[in-house]
Amino acid sequence: MRVELTEEFDRNFERKAFFTNAWKKRKDPKANGSLLVVTGQMRRSIKSEVEGDGVRFSSSVPYATVHNEGGTGYVTVREHQRKHYKSGKTYTVHAHQRRFNMPQRQFIGDSPQTQELIRGVIEDNLQKFNMNLSNFIKTSK
């Protein structure tokens, strides 16, 4: 189950969607690609581990949750130099907090497709178990 879910969640980055639910486009129309696959760091950071009767997925990057679930917050903008777009004069932008509103771009989680994958894995394992049990009973006689 862990392998199947990990592969499908990774494919969400290729699909640029959570299964069939496409991610919202970036605000900047000139920006290339999807916001979640610019460097690939978040995609590579996703880890899975078997925990009890389930599988737990996690990421080491701090912004993974806000991308997966969406949300609002503040980001600190450091002091830096900018050039005015018309005059070309350099000016200083002082450090400040900028509010952001991140639309949900889910790549991991529960859904009808996730449940279908889980059912498929369980059914495959039950069929293998039944085949092995049948073979064991035949050879035991």
Sketch the domain layout of the chain as residue ranges.
Answer: 2-68+106-135
* Centroid of chain to Cα 129: 33
Phi, psi dihedrals of residue 42, rounded to the nearest 5°: -65, -45
Please tell me the distance from the alpha carbon of residue 47 to that of residue 135, in angstroms, as a whole number: 37
- 141 pLDDT more than 70: no
Is-contact 29 72, C-beta < 8 A? no
pLDDT at 53 (0 to 100): 85
Is-contact 108 9, C-beta < 8 A? yes
Encode pLDDT of 34-91 as tens digits. 767 778 899 999 999 999 988 999 999 999 999 999 999 999 999 999 999 999 999 9
pTM, two decimals, is 0.73
Phi, psi dihedrals of residue 36, rounded to the nearest 5°: -85, -5
